[in-house]
Structure 1
Amino acid sequence: MDINANIESPLLLKVSFNKLVKQYEKLIANSDEHVSATAQRVLDIAKENPILVDGFSDATIFKTHEKEIKSILQDTFSPVLTKNEIKTASVPYHDFIFNASERFKSILNIAGDDFKLEMKNLPENQRYIMACTAILNFCYGYNLNVKRPLFYEIPDDDGVTRYYKILYNADFTEIIPNENAPKITQEDYDELLDNFDNIELWRKKFPPNSYTFKGFVISNIFDVTDDQSISNIKSNLIKEEKRSNSSFVEEFVEIFQSLFGLKNIKVGFSIYNEEEDTFEQIYGVGTHSYLLNDLESKLCADVLCEWSYNKLLREHDFFSVSDVDKSLTCSNDEAPHIKVLKKQGFKSAIFAPIANENGLLGILEIVSSTPKVLNSINANKLVDVMPFIIAAVERSKNEEANLIEAVIQKECTSIHPSVKWRFKKEAKNFIRHQIDGKDANFNKIAFENIYPLYGQIDIKGSSEARNWATQQDLSLQLNTLKDILKNAIEKENLPIYAQYIFQIDDFISAIDEHFQVDSEHQISNFIKIEIEPVLQHLYAANILKDEIDAYFESIDNRVNVLYHHRKNYDDTIASINKEMAALLDLKQIEAQLMYPHYFERFKTDGVEHNMYIGESITQEDTFSPIYLYNLRLWQLQIMVEMENRYYQMQSDFPIKLDVASMILVFNQPLSISFRMDEKQFDVDGTYNARYEIVKKRVDKAFVKGTQKRATEKGKITIVYSQKEDELEYLRYIKFLQSKYYLDTDVEIVELQDLQAVTGLKAIRVSVLYHKDKNDKSFYTYEDLMQEINK
C-alpha cells in the first residue's frame, strides 16, 4: 500500500532517514566512545538497508524493516522515557504514524479499537495549502508563518475527552522540486499572499505531486486538556445565539468534564434577581438549575442555608459539598440546598458565584451522582475559567436588558419604522451636543403637509353587554350567599341572618329593575364588610363548611368577585381585539411595501388605527397623490376583510357581539408632532385640532333628524365633509361592488352637528360576507346570521 494513496497534496511523500543518518555521520568521530559506537551502529544499518536512506512510499516496508527502523530511531525514542513521553514519528499534516512511544500507544489502546485518530484544527483544503507554504519556505526561502496549533482529541478510560497538542520537529525533512514543478516567481508569491482561500490558485501554482517530501517528522505531543478546556469554555461563551442552540449546553458540559477529568458530572446555572432576592431559571434550550430543580424561581433564603447564603451572596466565594449524604446528616436534614441535591440523586457538588464588582449575577452549579469526586481541591480549577463565565453572563445580562427595552419599545412605546429615521437623526445630534459639551436638547419632531386616514372596527353595545354580564354575576353571587344564610338560620337561628337576607333581596331587586354605575361598588362593599365576617364566623363554628368552601372557590382570586359572565365578556373583547389587530398588522406589511407611511393602532372596545402619508415622512422626493388614493382604497378593502374575518370567528367567542366599521375622511393635509410626555404623535395647530375632535366624537353621532347612530352593524360607514371626497369614495365602492366586497344598497346621510363641527355626511353601504375563507358565496348581514344560526 502506498502512503500517498487517497491523498491530494503538492508533496509526494517518501519516508527517509537520510538527514538523520547524516547527523550520525558527524558523530562518528566523537571523542565519546559510546556516542561514536551508536553512530557506527546506525550507519551500518543504513549501509545494509539503502532504501531507508533513499526513501520509500510502500507502507509494507515499515513491517519488513521494523527492527531496523526502531534501531535507527532508538536515540530519538529513548527507551528510558518511552513510557512517559508522548511522541510519534510520522509524515506532516497526515495521520499516518509509523513509530510511537509506549505512552502514546497506551493512550490509543485506552481509546479503543473503534477510535479513529484524526488531527483537529486542520480543514481538508488547508492541508494542501499548508504543504504549499512549507514548499515556499523550504525551496524559495520565504518566511511564511501559517502554523496553527494542531490537536488530537482522544477519550480516556472514563470516556472523557482529553486534548493533546502536536508540535512538529522538521529537522529531518527535505523538499525537492520534481520535473513538473512550476517555478514560483515574486509575482506568483505576491498573488498568493492575497488569496489564501483560493484553493484552485494554489493547485495551479503547486500541482499535485509536483514536489517530493523526503524524510519524516517527530511529533512531540503534550496533554493540554486543562488549557484547551479553558479555551473551549471561552470560545463557547463567545458564540452568538447560545440560547437557541440546543447543542450549546451539551458541548459546555463535555468541556467541563474534560476540565475536571470526570465523565459523570452535569453543569447548571441559576440567575440572581437582585430586586427580588431570588434565584431564577435561565430561559433557553437545555439550560437548567439544580438548585431550583423544577421551580422557575425561589427566594435565595429558601434555597440556601444561612452559611451558604453568606458564602455565595456576601463573600462571593465558591464552596463544595463532597458528600451529600454526610452533609445532610450534619445539617440535621435542614440545609435546603443539600436536600434538593439529595432529591435529585446527586452525591457531590460545587457551587460557584458568578459575581463582578457590582455584585452577584448568578450561580454556576456542578453536580455529580458520585460522592467525593467534586470537592474543595478540584473546585480550584474554576479559578481560571470564572472570569470568562462572568464576562459572558455580564454580556448576556446586557443583551437581556437591551432585549427587554426593545420589547417595551415595541409593545408600549413603539416608534414606527417609517419615522424612525427622524428619531435617529435627532438622537445623533443630541449625543453629538453632549460630547461637545453643549446644551443637549432633543428637538421637536414634526411632519408637515401629510394626509391623515382613520378607521375603526367598533364593538356594538359593548357597554350594555358588560352591564348585563355584571348583573348576572352579581345576581348569582348574591343568590348563593342568600342560600347559605337561609341554611345558617336552620343551624343557628340568629335574627341578623334574616336581616342580611332582606338586604340581599333588596340588592337583587335593584339589579333587575334599575342597575346603576355604582351598584357594583355598593354590593361589593356590602359583601366584604357585612357578609364575609358572617361566613368566617360560620366556618369557625364548623357550620356549612362545604357550602362556604364552594362559594369561595367560585370567587376569582384576582378580582375578589364572582367572575363568570364578566370573564366571558372580557375574554370576548380581548379575543376580538387580538384577532382584528393581528389581521390589520399583517395587512399593514403589504401596504408599507406599496408606499411607506406612518401607522399606529389602538385597542379599545374594538380596534382603531391612524395612518399618515406624505412627502415629509418618506425622506424622499417620491410622493404623489396616487399613493394617497391607493391607501384609501386599501383601507376600505381591509375594513371589509376585517368585518368578514370577525363574523367567521364570531361563533368561537364566549359571547356573540356585533361590530360596526367606520372610516373618517379628512381632505386637507395637516401637521403632526411627537409629544414626548405621551410618547405619541398628535396633530399641530388649532385648525388641525378639528380632525381630532371629529375622530373622538363621530362614532357616537346620530343621523340627522333621527336617534339612529351613524355606524351600523353589517355596514361600512364613511364619514366626510367635502363633495370631492364623496365622489372619490363612491368610485371605490363601485369597484369593490364589482369584486363582491360590498352590496348595492349605498345611502348618503347627513349627520347631526357635533360641538364645533358641522356639515358632516356619511356614505353607508352593506358588507357582503362569506361563511369562511374557502366559501365563494356571499351574503348580506341578515343572510349570514341565518346561515350561522342554522
Structure 2
Amino acid sequence: MDIKNNSTNRLTISLDNKFDGVKCKFSEFPFKSVLSLDPLIELWKNAAGDTGKIKSSIARPVLDRLKNIPELIGPLNDISLLKKHEDIVDVLMSVIYPAAQWNKLIQASIAPFKWKAMYSTPLFDKIFGVSEEKINKLQNENKHMLVGKTINAYVNILKEVYGRKIKFGSPFIYGTDDKNTGLTRYFQLNFDSTFVKIKVNGEKPELNENQIKELLKDITNLEMWTKYLPPEKFEFHGFVNLYAVNITDQEVLSQLKHDLLEKESIISMERFRTLQSKLRDLFRLPDLKLGLAALPKEWNQLVQYGRKIGDSFIFNFSEIVSCRDFDNSIYEQVMKKGKPVIIENIEQCSDKTKIENELLKQGIKSVAVAPLYYQNELIGVLELGSPKPNDLNSLNAIKLNGILPLFSTAVRRSVEELDSNIQAIIKEECTAIHPSVEWRFKLAAFNLILKREEEKSAEMETIIFNDVYPLYGLSDIRNSSTIRNESIQSDLVEHLTMAKDVVNSAMNIKSLPYLDALSFRINKHITGIKNGLSSGDELSIIEFLQREVESTFSNLENINPSLKELVANYHAALDPHLNSFYKKRKDFEESVAIINEVIAGHLDEAELKSQEMFPHYFEKYKTDGVEHGIYIGQTLVENKKFDELYLKNLRLWQIIVMSDIVRKTNEIKPFLKIPLETAHLILIQNAPLSIRFRLDEKKFDVDGTYNIRYEIMKKRIDKAVINGTKERLTQPGKIAMVYSHSREAAEYKKYIEYLQAKGYLENKFEELELESLQGVQGLKALRVTVNLNYKNEKTLINYKDASEIIMKLESQAQK
C-alpha cells in the first residue's frame, strides 16, 4: 500500500489489489445496498431548475413523464420495471451513455457493491455474457473481491459522510474466456460512485481526527473500521457505473513477465504450455504454436549443439541432417538481419527451402521467427507458428517487441539451470565422465529431465556405443603378490621377534612359567610364518600380539626399570596408526605407489595430447601397476567424421607410449626402496565391439555375448606363458603384443619396423604362440625389446605428423 500526503486534507491511496493476510470476518458484503434511480433523477431535476438554458427545456418534459411513473422513484425492488419503462429509462441514462458511443462502450450500471446489472451496453453483454452470474460467483468465491469492496465502501463513507477528500484507487482485473476461441481477455473494471448516496441510520458515529488518521494508516484493518464505523449504521442507495477497459495486452505481458521469472519457466512442459496459452491470448490466435531453441555461438554448429527448450519447430524437423539445409531459409535470414522475420503464407512463398517445407509438414502455414539476444550475444530463437495462412503478419508481429527481452532473459537463465540440472544428474547417476563422451551423457540427462516431467520415477536411458575399436594396455608390477607376501612375512617375523625379546628379557630377570609358555607360542608363530603365509595369518597374529603378549607388558614394566625401557622401544618401533611393525610393507607400498604415479602421470600427459589426433574414450585403473583402456569410433563423437586412419594413429601412439613407460620405470628402479620390475603388454583386436555404461557399477563394459571374449582376454593374458615352455610372456624391458589373427600381426609389424628404425625398439622381435588360457585359445604374440638407452627430448613423436607416418607405412607396404 502506498499513501502519498499531497496536502493537509487530501490523500491518494493505492492498494494494488493485494489483500493477502487481511482478516475478514464477513462472508458477504456487510452494508445494505439499495438499487435506486433517485440520484440520477436528482441530476435531471437540477438541470430542469437551471432556467434559461437548453438543458432545462430538455429535462422538464422528462420529469413530467416521470410523474406518471411513481414506481421508478425510490427503491427499485423489482428490476423488471426498468425493462417495462425502457423508453424513459433510456432517456434518463443518456447523460451517462452517449448515443454516439453506445456500441463501443463496455459499460454497465449496477446496484451499489452488489454487481446487480440494471443497465448495460451491447458490448458489455456480449463480452461478459450472463454477467451477474459470473461476477456474483467471483464475488462469493474471491476473498480479495469482498475485502476490496468493503474497504472501498468505507473510503466512500469517509468522503461523503465525513467530508474527507480521499482518492482511492483499487481497480479489479477480470478475465473472461471467449466461448468460440477459448482465448482469455482481460478487463480492468473501474467504478464511478457519482450516483450513490449514503444514508446514515440514526446518529452519525463520532469520528475524531486521530481516529481518521489511524484508519488511513492501516486501511486494510477491517476490525478497526467496523469498530469505529459499524456497517449497520450505513446504507448505499443508487447505482454505480462500471467501466470495463480491455487491457489484455498489458495484463498478458505482465503475466508473462511474472511467469518467465519463475524457475524452470520454459523447461517445464506444463509451464511452457501455459506460456503458449498466454501468447495465444496476446495475439488473439487460438491455434498459435510457440517454439524456443537455444543456439550455439557458431551458427554452423546448430545441428550438433543447439537444443530445444520445451518445444521447438527447428528441432522437430524430420529430415534435417546438416547446417547446409538452413542456407537461405527464414532462420538464416533471422541470423543475418538480427531481427524478426515473418512469412505470412508459407504455401505461397516462391523461394521455399527445405526448412520451409519442413514447417509445412508440421502444419505451420504462417510463421514468425525472432532472434533472442542476451548482452548482445545471440543465445536462441523464438518461433511462432499458425496453421492458418496470414495469421502472423507485420502488424501483430509488433507485439514481439514487448516479449523478446523477457524470453531472452528466461532462455539464458533456463539454459544455465538446465546445464546445472544435467551436471547434477550426471554426477548422481554416473560420477566422473570422460570429456570425449560427455556430450552423450548430457543428452541422456536432458532426456531424463524431459521424461521426469511425465513420470517422476523415470530412469536414465541406456548408453551404448556401437562399433567402437578397443585398445588395451597393461603395465604390471612383476611378482607383486609374492613380494607383498614376503614383505608381510618379514614385518610379522620382526614384530614377533621384538615381542619375544621383551618376554625373554623378563624371564631372565624373573622366571615365570607363563612367560616361558608365551615365548614358546611366539616361536611357533615365527616358524609357521617362515614356512609360508596363509589367508588370515596376519590378522590372527596381530590379535595374538595385542591381546596376549602386549597385555602383559604393563605388568612386566614393574619388574625392573630395564624392562620399562625395552617395552618403550618396542612400542616406538610400531606404526602408530596400525599398531604393528610396518617397514617392509611400507617400502613395498611406497615403491608401488611411485611406479603407479610415474606410469599414470605419463599416460595422462600423453593421452591429453593424443586427443588432438581424434577424440576417444580413455580410462585407467591402478592396482599393482596400471592398466588402461581406449575406445575409438564414429559413435563416440558428436560432430566429427571418423576414419580408420585415426585408429592406426592411436595404435602406433600406444606402442610409443608403452615404450616410454618401459624406459621411465627402468630409470626409477634404482631410487625405489624395493627395486620392483615391471612387465608390459598390449592386447590387439581389429574387430569393433559395443560398450555399454553400467549405471550400477558406474563404468563402461563390453556389451553382448560375442564381445565377452575380449573381456576374458584382458583379465587372463598377463598370466600367459609361451607354448611348450614355462616362460611368462611378459618380461621386464619388453612389450608383448597379443593378437588372434595374422592380419593384426601384419599391421603391428609395420609399426615395430618403423619404431625400430627410429630407435625406440631393439632390432629384433619375437613371434610367439601362447598356451591356451581358460576360455581363450589360439592366441599369439609379438614381443619386442625396448631400447632403454633411447633419448628423445620430445619423448613422443609429433602428433600432427602421425597421419603422414601412417600413410608412409601404408605406401611402403603396398610397394
TM range (shorter): 0.3 to 0.5
TM-score (norm 2): 0.44
TM-score (norm 1): 0.45
Q: Larger radius of gyration, structure 1 or 2?
A: 2
